[in-house]
Amino acid sequence: MAQFRFRDLAWCTCTHSGAIMESMGANSNKDWWRDATVYQIYPRSFADANGDGIGDIPGIDSRVEYLASLGIDAVWLSPFYPSQLADGGYDVDNYRDVDHRLGSLTDFDRLVAHLHDAGLRIVIDIVPNHTGSNHPWFRQALAEGPGSPARDRYIFRDPVGPPPGAPPSDWQSIFGGPAWEQVADGQYYLHYYAKEQPDLNWANPEVRADFVTTLRFWADRGVDGFRIDVAHGLTKDLSADPLPSQAEIDRIGPGPDHPMWDRDEVHEIYAEWRAVFNSYDPPRSGIGEVWAATAGRRARYATPAGLGQAFNFDLLYAPFEAAAFRSTVERNLAQAALSGSTSTWVLSNHDVVRHPTRYSQPQLADPDRVREQAQAWIASGGRVPHAEPALGAARARAATLFMLALPGAAYLYQGEELGLPEVIDIAPQHRQDPAFFRSAGKEIGRDGARVPLPWTRSGPSFGFGPGISHIPQPDWYAEMSVEAQAGEPASSLAMYRQALKLRHLLSEGEDLTWLDPPDDAATHFRRSPTWSCVTNFASHPVPRPPGRLLMASGPLAGREEIPPATTLWLAG
């Protein structure tokens, strides 16, 4: 894959004073999460202190200064709990400990203290829909057999015929293959994800009580907020006999009539959690990973009586087009208003193809196909002739500056500040994602977004750690490393740092006003009398509106025009 080199660019966008940047620290009020920039760390791939090839908590601790230098407000740690790693740590075997390969509770406490000292908050992932299959509860459920209280913590069912011994329904796991797994005594258990991730029974009071204990355990250690995995999935109604088929539940869609997704009762859980969050000073924050059918249904998770905020992934799925970006923002600001929360914006995370790679694809009229298209490109080994990595990189920077000018919270994913594209050519023996294995390689999976970060130009794992990394890194990581970009004003890293600091400085309230764009293929919005954001989504230059240039996402050819795939922040 042809790589883009920062050194080849001769543009500098820095127009603000260092003194301004010095004056900014973390947002100190209890509503910090409303407009925070949160940086997601996938711990196993961030930094490895002990050289075993797996990123760890001391590794993150050693990079606190770097994290603070980005200008973010908080870090969100994906799971770091004991796990057999059937799904990258989202198969948790003990919710109140640190995986010994990643460190100890003492290391965790030290990290929290160092982040707080640096003015950063910490959000952790809670995975309540399922445990790992090595969790003591699940082992006990297997040992104690049908009808036991231990089985009632999960969703076990007898086989249903015909034919004799068949699973209770034809439901499919999200990672491929059946969602029911049979155990030695003949019963089946439900696992909507991998078979190592048995779904919990949230009608069981012991399950509910235990998660409250877990929330308090971490909140007492100083954790500032929680990201709730599969937040829409906890409460289930499997009382129908026979159970509806997969085709029927697909037709019903998430909502009160779906047996698993976005049922009304789930909010009782979050009301209880809110009381826990609010019993702390300052209250702990919550953000749900919610997939709901309508804006109104998603908004229910984000109310002050519930989790407080819910992820919206619409920008991530939007094609790089003015109309799509604008309508996505309009729709989501209206949705946020329904709940009294703010919107959240995401372009990349550990589950999706990194945005420079997505944007290197030709645009499609149907936004739902954007992911499929990137997936097809990855599956082909990157050999699709029309993929344009340099264009993808330019669009990614433009989309990032667009996103960072929006009101609400922005969620960044580790490595996006380096402009990292997806690593497409991971050999099958190095793949880890259950989606790859459960689909016999048809689904390439998410490993390409989870390759350990490059910190230096050289070394056995480009500074990730003293040893080699748990997923091999490509050679071109050297020139995308933090070391290669440090001090380069045209680098992606410099753009993120500058944008995050200006965002802190310029953000005023939660309003956004659309201005007449200079072209149909552009958007222009104002956040304050002194800050507007104009993006050219086209492949041709468009006229530049008046206003002093604060920063740009790419090189400018002159003062009159905005080049293709470029965002400008203007004073005025």
SS (H, E, C) 417-456: HHCCCCCCCCCHHHCCCHHHHHCCCCCCCCHHHCCCCCCC
Burial class (CB in 10 A: 0-12, 13-18, 19+), 18: exposed
Residues 6+ apart with CB under 8 A from 548: 15, 570, 571, 572
Amino acid 238 reads L
Q: Is 351 in the site for ligand BGC (CB under 6 A)?
A: yes
Q: Among 348, 350, 317, which residue's Cα sits nearest to residue 331?
A: 317
Residue closest to ligand BGC (Cβ)? 90
**SS3 state at 276:** helix
Task: Rounding to the nearest 10 degrees, give the CA dihedral for residues 287, 288, 292, 296.
Answer: -40
Q: Is 99 in the site for ligand BGC (CB under 6 A)?
A: no
CA distance 159 to 430: 36
Q: Could you tell me how many residues of this chain bind ligand BGC (CB under 6 A)?
A: 9
If the CB atoms of residues 413 and 496 are measured against ligand BGC, the closer one turns out to be: 413
Matching residue, tokens 């059946």: 178
Q: How far is the CB of 45 from ligand BGC (least distance, A)?
A: 13
Q: How far is the CB of 322 from ligand BGC (least distance, A)?
A: 30
Whole-Å CA distances, 491 to 27, 78, 199, 449, 477: 26, 27, 44, 20, 14
Burial class (CB in 10 A: 0-12, 13-18, 19+), 535: buried
If the CB atoms of residues 176 and 389 are measured against ligand BGC, the closer one turns out to be: 176
Contact between 357 and 406 (Cβ < 8 Å):
no
If the CB atoms of residues 293 and 521 are measured against ligand BGC, the closer one turns out to be: 293
Strands 188-190 vs 37-41: parallel, antiparallel or unpaired: unpaired
If the CB atoms of residues 86 and 551 are measured against ligand BGC, the closer one turns out to be: 86
If the CB atoms of residues 289 and 422 are measured against ligand BGC, the closer one turns out to be: 289
Q: How far is the CB of 463 from ligand BGC (least distance, A)?
A: 26
Adjacent-strand bridge partners of 543: 561
Give backbone dihedrals phi and psi of 228, rounded to 5 degrees, phi first: -100, 115
Q: Which of 289, 314, 416, 417 binds ligand BGC (CB under 6 A)?
A: 289
If the CB atoms of residues 33 and 193 are measured against ligand BGC, the closer one turns out to be: 193
If the CB atoms of residues 88 and 103 are measured against ligand BGC, the closer one turns out to be: 88
Q: How far is the CB of 342 from ligand BGC (least distance, A)?
A: 21
Residues 6+ apart with CB under 8 A from 282: 30, 224
Binding mask 495-534 for ligand BGC (x = CB under 6 A): ----------------------------------------
Helices and strands per DSSP (H, E), number in the chain: 17, 17
Q: Which of 4, 33, 46, 90 binds ligand BGC (CB under 6 A)?
A: 90
Binding mask 311-350 for ligand BGC (x = CB under 6 A): ---------------------------------------x
Q: How far is the CB of 193 from ligand BGC (least distance, A)?
A: 5
Q: How far is the CB of 194 from ligand BGC (least distance, A)?
A: 8
Q: Is 230 in the site for ligand BGC (CB under 6 A)?
A: yes
Binding mask 102-141 for ligand BGC (x = CB under 6 A): -------------------------x--------------
Looking at the chain, how many residues does it have?
572
Matching residue, tokens 């080049």: 563
If the CB atoms of residues 45 and 360 are measured against ligand BGC, the closer one turns out to be: 45
Contact between 534 and 518 (Cβ < 8 Å):
yes
If the CB atoms of residues 188 and 313 are measured against ligand BGC, the closer one turns out to be: 313
If the CB atoms of residues 175 and 496 are measured against ligand BGC, the closer one turns out to be: 175
Q: Which of 87, 99, 107, 181 binds ligand BGC (CB under 6 A)?
A: 87
Please report, as residue ranges, which positions from 166 to 225 form the binding site for ligand BGC (by CB under 6 A).
193
Q: Which two tokens stand for residue 126?
A: 């809670």
DSSP 3: P
Q: Which of 56, 181, 199, 229 binds ligand BGC (CB under 6 A)?
A: 229
CA distance 340 to 532: 24
Residues 6+ apart with CB under 8 A from 390: 2, 4
Q: How far is the CB of 520 from ligand BGC (least distance, A)?
A: 36
If the CB atoms of residues 230 and 494 are measured against ligand BGC, the closer one turns out to be: 230
If the CB atoms of residues 351 and 510 are measured against ligand BGC, the closer one turns out to be: 351
If the CB atoms of residues 198 and 319 are measured against ligand BGC, the closer one turns out to be: 198
**Rg of the chain taking only CA atoms, in angstroms:** 24
Please report, as residue ranges, which positions from 20 to 79 form the binding site for ligand BGC (by CB under 6 A).
none
Adjacent-strand bridge partners of 178: 172
Q: How far is the CB of 528 from ligand BGC (least distance, A)?
A: 34
Query: In which order are the strands placed within the sheet that holds 188-190?
Result: 156-157, 188-190, 180-182
Q: How far is the CB of 234 from ligand BGC (least distance, A)?
A: 12
Binding site for ligand BGC (CB under 6 A): 87, 90, 127, 193, 229-230, 289, 350-351
